[in-house]
Structure 1
Amino acid sequence: MHALLILDMQVGLVHGPEKPWRSEALLSTLNALMGKARKAGAPIFLARHIGPAGSPIEPGSPLTELVQELQLQGDEVIFEKSRPNAFAMTDLATQLREHGCDGVVIAGMKTQYCVDSTCRAARDLGFDAVLVADGHTCADTPELSAQAIIAHHNATLAGPFCRAVQAEGWRF
């Protein structure tokens, strides 16, 4: 079984000063994926990235709260992480195994940080890593547009690090 893992869809990133590319479409995609997961009985995990005390994203900061646009129903596992890799210094791998999951479907933010490192780590930990190619985003950088960053990561990660799928075609 595959679990759904949604990374860092929190107020400070989605509604912050650096606007993520196509965030409205992403939220729709993530809500649809959560609906599919629930229908199939697959667990849903949501990560919130927190920083050290005194930082804008310190524990308890409103910037770390999940955005209200996500259609949460209380059946999700919400956890905090402090590293880009959602497995680092968390019990995510243990929880996935306890839920009987040998695979993880990865979506959310930011493409070049948490999405990338979590895809790579999932495979290294023995999980069938699945990247939702139309289910992650980031903001433009001075060097590259968000669209280019996303396309690059979809191409780079697919194969050696994960399977890349379109949200519409994925079945839990």
Structure 2
Amino acid sequence: MTNALLVIDVQESFRARPLWQAVDNPDVTDDVRRLVDAARAAGDLVIWVLHTEPGTGTVFDPASGYVRVMDGLEPAAGEPTLLKTVHNSFTGTDLQHRLTVAGVRGVTVCGLRTEQCVETTARVASDLGYEVTFVTDATATFPIPHWSAPADSSVEELLADPRTLSAEDVVARTEYALAGRFATIRSVGELAGV
């Protein structure tokens, strides 16, 4: 086995937040499912990663019940689910050990949020020597408020603020930053067929 698919933070925590109404790819589970099916058919390792914030009382606190793979997706027997507490999927988990033991040389990454945990995992994987494939259309993200916007802004206020960075701009920036430096950008269609 030389490749692994990392499914990062495709979890119900995001659907439980009001910001979900502004997600750029509401059908992300369909895109991820196609990648998972293709990876399984190829005999690649599939690893699921979930973000947790224990003790916070947020939707990322395991006690909330939302820290689980999104409905419509399910890890198969033998596919590990790792829990992380930071942006990248390597720090604080045994991901690198699992990849090394399995003889993995390349990783394909998908999930939520495009510019945050998925991009950060791609950068760290590249620094660790893995060949990284970033499947943008199997990621999802949200508009990002200006750093000086009030933290308690509603979704409507966020979207009305002209300083808000659109999800489309976030995705474009991520692709520009990664392509040719940290990862190869590919589509679900290229990897899983049309």
In structure 1, the residue matched to 2:129 is 126
In structure 2, the residue matched to 1:139 is 142
**Identity between Structure 1 and Structure 2 (%):** 28
Check the 8 A contact 2:89/2:117 in 1, yes or no: yes
What per-residue deviation string (whole Å, max 9, x for no partner) do you get for residues 72-98 of structure 1? 433421110000011111110110111
Corresponding position: 1:97 with 2:127: no
What per-residue deviation string (whole Å, max 9, x for no partner) do you get for residues 126-145 of structure 1? 11111012111111223211
Check the 8 A contact 2:25/2:140 in 1, yes or no: yes
In structure 2, the residue matched to 1:151 is 172
Secondary structure, aligned partner of 1:136: strand
In structure 1, the residue matched to 2:8 is 7
Secondary structure, aligned partner of 1:35: helix
Secondary structure, aligned partner of 1:12: helix
Displacement of 1:28 in angstroms is 1.1
Corresponding position: 1:164 with 2:166: no
Normalising by structure 1, we get a TM-score of: 0.92
Distance in 1 (alpha carbons) for counterparts of 2:44 and 2:63:
28
What per-residue deviation string (whole Å, max 9, x for no partner) do you get for residues 7-44 of structure 1? 101111134211121221x2111000011011111010
Corresponding position: 1:48 with 2:50: yes
Displacement of 1:66 in angstroms is 1.1
What per-residue deviation string (whole Å, max 9, x for no partner) do you get for residues 86-111 of structure 1? 11111101101111211110000011
**Paired letter, 2:97:** T
Secondary structure, aligned partner of 2:62: coil
Secondary structure, aligned partner of 1:18: helix
Q: How does 1:15-94 map to 2 (within 5 A)?
A: 15-19=16-20, 20-24=23-27, 26-56=28-58, 57-94=60-97
Instruction: Point out 4+ residue stretches in structure 1 off by more than 3 angstroms.
Output: none
* Runs of 5+ unmatched residues, structure 2: 146-163
**Paired letter, 2:165:** L
Distance in 1 (alpha carbons) for counterparts of 2:55 and 2:123:
28
Distance in 2 (alpha carbons) for counterparts of 1:2 and 1:101:
5
**Paired letter, 2:171:** I
Distance in 2 (alpha carbons) for counterparts of 1:102 and 1:14:
33
Distance in 2 (alpha carbons) for counterparts of 1:156 and 1:169:
21
**Paired letter, 1:95:** R
Distance in 1 (alpha carbons) for counterparts of 2:188 and 2:49:
19
Displacement of 1:4 in angstroms is 0.3
